[in-house]
Amino acid sequence: MSPTLKELQNLRLQRYPQTKDPNLRAWNAADEYIIQYLAENIENFHEQRFLVVNDQFGAISVALNEFSSEYMTDSYLSGLAIEKNLKINWPDNVKATAFSDGCFDSRVLKEAAAEKYFSVVIIRVPKHLSLLEYQLRIISHHIDKNTMVIGAGMTKEIHKSTLSLFERLIGPTRTSLAHKKARLILSNPEIAPAPMSSFSSYMVANPVLPDKKLTIFGYPGVFSREKLDLGTRVLFDHIPPLTDEKVIADLGCGAGVIGAVIAQAYPTMRVILSDESAMAIASARKTFIENNLTNGSFYQTDCLENTGTETIDLVLCNPPFHQQNVQTLSIAKKMMHQSSNRLSSNGSLYLVANRHLKYSGVLKTCFKDVSIVSDDPKFIVWRGRSPRK
């Protein structure tokens, strides 16, 4: 039996992190469109090998579970959602498997997976064009001329630059008609496998040690991969002098620039770097290695989960307010609550945010002492002290 649009609507799907916002579902019209297209255009599902890339919360992977399907994601949160939703809908028969954590280099492609080919590749268009290019380069090593390559996204997510990447890295490309503001990208593989793209890098002066510099490395799609973002620059101006702190956390570390600044300035302190992106953690590791920093610990996880049990003395954070292409404060709120739970009684959270984001109320539920240490036209640096346990 092939999956149908009706079956997708009848699946039990949850976002992760879960949200009470009724406007945020665990699937959208792009997921519905791709399942409908597959049902109408593929006859023998059990003879196909599916690869699903960037499945946001598992809608496509769950619908294709009974067939030979694998999924690839850079996101720890998406991976959790896929696993949870597979178990909810197929409690005794989960067949879909993870292809990888989404982080490849040429060596990994050659040694681990270069002989694996798929007959159908489905890729949800990611937010960052550089990540799409990186993933299409990976895909090009796992398809042949008979592979059906299908991109999917909302019309506002698909641009001429998006289509040109499919055309350049996969082959001749066309788009479907729009349906419920969603669109499909249909490519015919005719291009030879593309070489893998490499890290971007840039140099920054250490704001704590002005005579020292750091080289920051970032995989495609990683936050702060090409330059220091303005919010982090503002946060750097307000990092307090550190004396008795032993454990510092760079929460949502991206390419690791905050953690690297602290690690270089305070080499005896342990620096925890956590991010839900596999490529962010790989970038942060590269940043530490290339700068000869040895006091970092790296975790791909949900905020501070599974990063140890010791108390933390200082958390530095520039939190996201999007999950994929949807604006949400749920991740930032979880970062604040987890920081409060892990901080020592005298510990502090320093958080930089766009000034329009309403974080005051959440911070006050997490900390007894909440103050603004910087208030410029675009960013606010919040400080939370005396965590409420």
| Model confidence at 92: pLDDT above 90 | yes
Q: Is residue 195 situated within a structural domain? A: no
Residue 246 has pLDDT above 80, yes or no: yes
Q: Are residues 258 and 374 in the same domain?
A: yes
Domain count, the chain: 2
How far apart (Å, rounded) are the C-alpha atoms in residues 339 and 333? 10
- Domain of residue 157, CATH code: 3.40.50.150
Q: Look at residue 52 and tell me whether its pLDDT is greater than 70.
A: yes
- Quick one: 53 and 177 in the same domain? yes
103 and 218 in one domain? Answer: no
CA distance 268 to 184: 52
Query: Do 370 and 223 sit in the same domain of this protein?
Result: yes
Residue 322 above 50 pLDDT? no
Residue at which a domain ends, from 155, 187, 219: 187
The answer to whether residues 165 and 212 belong to one domain is no
- Return the number of other C-beta atoms located less than 10 Å from residue 157's C-beta: 20
Checking if the pLDDT of 3 tops 60, the result is no
Q: Is residue 344, in this structure, part of any structural domain at all?
A: yes
**CA–CA distances in Å: residue 120 to residues 43, 71, 179:** 12, 12, 21
Of 130, 150, 133, which Cα lies nearest the Cα of 51?
150
Same domain, 146 and 107: yes
Mean pLDDT of 359-368: 92
243 vs 268, higher pLDDT: 268
> Cα angle at 253 between 263 and 362, to 5 degrees?
115
314 and 356 inside one domain: yes
| Predicted local distance difference test score (pLDDT) of residue 111 | 47
Please indicate, yes or no, if residue 179 is contained in any of the structural domains: yes
Q: What is 241-305 written as a DSSP string? A: P-SS--EEEEET-TTSHHHHHHHHH-TTSEEEEEESBHHHHHHHHHHHHHTT---EEEEESSTTT
Mean pLDDT of the chain: 89
Q: Domain of residue 230: give its range.
A: 200-387
Residues 154, 265, single domain; the answer is no
Q: Which residue do the tokens 């809608």 mark? A: 59
Last residue of a domain, one of 187, 213, 245: 187
194 is a domain residue = no
Which one, of 260, 367, 334, lies nearest residue 383 by Cα? 367
Confidence category of residue 51, pLDDT binned at 50, 70, 90: very high
pLDDT tens digit sequence for 328-352: 567 888 899 999 999 999 999 999 9
Q: Is the pLDDT of residue 21 over 80?
A: no
Give domain status of residue 278, yes or no: yes
Q: Tell me the pLDDT band of 101, cut-offs 50, 70 and 90.
A: low
Q: Which of 187, 210, 241 is the last residue of a domain?
A: 187
Residues 235 and 326 occupy one common structural domain: yes
> Does residue 216 sit within a domain?
yes
User: Is the pLDDT confidence value at 323 over 50?
Assistant: no
* Segment 148-157 mean pLDDT: 96
Amino acid, single-letter form, for residue 124: R
Same domain, residue pair 257 and 337: yes
pLDDT of the residue at 223: 84
